[in-house]
Amino acid sequence: MEQALERALKRSEAEGNWRQRYHFTPPVSWMNDPNGLIYYKGLYHLFYQYNPKGCKWGSMHWGHAVSEDMIHWKDMPVALRPDQEYDCHPEGGCFSGSAVEKDGVLFLFYTATTQIDGVVRQTQCIATSKDGVNFEKYEGNPVIKEQPQGLSNDFRDPKVFEHNGRWYMVVGGCIGSATSDGDGRICLYESDDLYNWKYKGNVLESNGKLGTMMECPDMFELNGKWVVTCSPMNHPDYNKSLYCVGTMDFENCIYTIEKVGNMDVGFDYYAPQSFTDKDGNRILVAWQNGWLWMPWCTDWGPTSQENWRGCLSVPRKVQLDSENNLCMYPVKEVESLVSQTVTYTDVEIGEKAIKLYDDPNRSNRILFKLDITKIESRNLEICVLGKESGYTAIQIDFLSKIITLDKSHGDHYEGGRMNCPFELHDGCLELCILVDHSSVELYVNHGERCITTNVYPEENQTECWIRTPYKKAVVDYVQIDFLDSSWEMQ
């Protein structure tokens, strides 16, 4: 526990201008993907790709935190560190993976990454725990020693799940080169005991359409359909995290795709992993960043000045709508952060911006209900994390039915705009915006579309305003919830 205390102290010392208030961040140093998400023995466990040695990726460990509600987190000692010949390398370590419980034991599955004679080697390994704090690597590791024949050595990110009394594992793979002209695969394995695994075939093959390597695959059942998600490298349309909805024949390993879509069209949503909460809901958490090979990603922001880098999206509940589109919306537990609520009805707006709030904590949720019959203007602009000429804008074009998240004035860092189509339901549009110290998440119509981005504003960018470029609009309903910090300082 001493180690956890030390890290927590560092966390409080490290608070700074961009340190997130209710999005998960590592106490210090670098983090990327969420790993091993599970509700185990009365607590939510979150593990994550962690480099305790600094704010750059390298030598991957599994950081660890626990929570009673997925919102308020407590740091725990590092769960996995690279210390075996199969997982020990400065450019390797304990890569991403997942968790399951069997007979009261917590099983972690991870990709051990090392190099032998300069050649990368990725194998699938197990670590177990009976108390959820101390983990032991299995002496028979690796349990999957080699990728299926014909696949390259990019072979990682095991996600294990149970179905009809059997264990299954999906692993990301690739034929050819992941970084240039390879072709992505999601491989399926089957087991009776979690230790012995048999390769069944491929759930998904890119065939030139879905990217060169499928990182962090996941697979779960929702409303009788099977949803497959992954984060493809070099996707032709630059999507970051994809979902497919379809049917699965596990016996013959045949996945029939009925639909493919984007999980989040923003700049920062990668490597999502799902788990079930204590009530059986399917929840997703993603790394709220992206890799340099993505066309819009220039870097991971300036937060290394504050001695931390990387954060996670707020947990989202996943559902399929009537047309089997994947919808995601912040979990209800977010309500526990609300410290104060202000509501307005029939807000009249025009060219002169109306200030909705000035929140020095830069930590709030805004809910809008817009009724098209009350809007004369073609456009509406909502600005958050703003002060004078610095702001992140959400622009709604009611004619072309396009919503844009524009951060070109948001900070002195990266800039960029993302567009996405939306639909009106009974003439109405509903928006939910989550604002934190260095990110904005936008949910359209209760999660039909999600747009997530990081932004690094100045400390005084604390305001939110709304305006139309010409003509008038009346906004039906606005609710502003001011949110507390989700950190209990241990």
Residue numbers annotated as active site: 33
Smaller CB distance to ligand FRU: residue 295 or 360? 295
Query: How many angstroms separate the CA atoms of 284 and 328, rounded?
Result: 8
* 12: Cα within 13 Å, side-chain hemisphere: 10
Residues that bind ligand FRU (CB under 6 A): 32-33, 49, 60, 95-96, 111, 156-157, 215-216, 270-271
Contacts of 335 (CB under 8 A, 6+ apart): none
Nearer to ligand FRU, 62 or 443 (CB): 62
DSSP string, 78-122: EEE---STTT--TT-EEEEEEEEEETTEEEEEEEEEEEETTEEEE
Give min distance, CB of 122 to ligand FRU, in A: 8
Q: Which is nearer to ligand FRU, 9 or 120 (CB)?
A: 120
What contacts 187, CB < 8 A, 6 or more positions away?
A: 147, 148, 151, 155, 170, 171, 172, 173, 199, 201, 202, 203
CB of 163 to ligand FRU, least distance (A): 23
Looking at the Cβ atoms of 67 and 231, the one nearer to ligand FRU is 231
Q: Name the phi and psi angles at 139, rounded to 5.
A: -65, -20
Shortest Cβ distance from residue 110 to ligand FRU (Å)? 8
The answer to whether the beta carbons of residues 26 and 63 sit under 8 Å apart is yes
As separate numbers, helices (DSSP H) first and strands (DSSP E) second, the chain gives 1, 33
CB nearer ligand FRU, residue 270 or residue 391? 270
| Concatenated DSSP letters of 377-430 | SSEEEEEEEEETTEEEEEEEETTTTEEEEE-TTT-SS---EEEEE---BTTEEE
Tell the smallest beta-carbon distance from residue 113 to ligand FRU (Å): 7
Nearer to ligand FRU, 69 or 183 (CB): 183
Nearest approach, Cβ of 112 to ligand FRU (angstroms)? 11
Tell me the C-alpha distance between 31 and 302, whole Å: 14
> Smallest gap, in angstroms, from Cβ of residue 154 to ligand FRU?
8
Report the nearest approach of ligand FRU to the CB of residue 50 (Å). 9
- Reduced to 3 states (helix: H, G, I; strand: E, B; else coil), residue 335 is helix
The DSSP code for 488 is P
Give the DSSP H/E element, type plus range, for residue 64.
Answer: strand 61-67
* Cβ distance to ligand FRU smaller for residue 50 or 465: 50
Q: CB of 316 within 8 A of CB of 31?
A: no
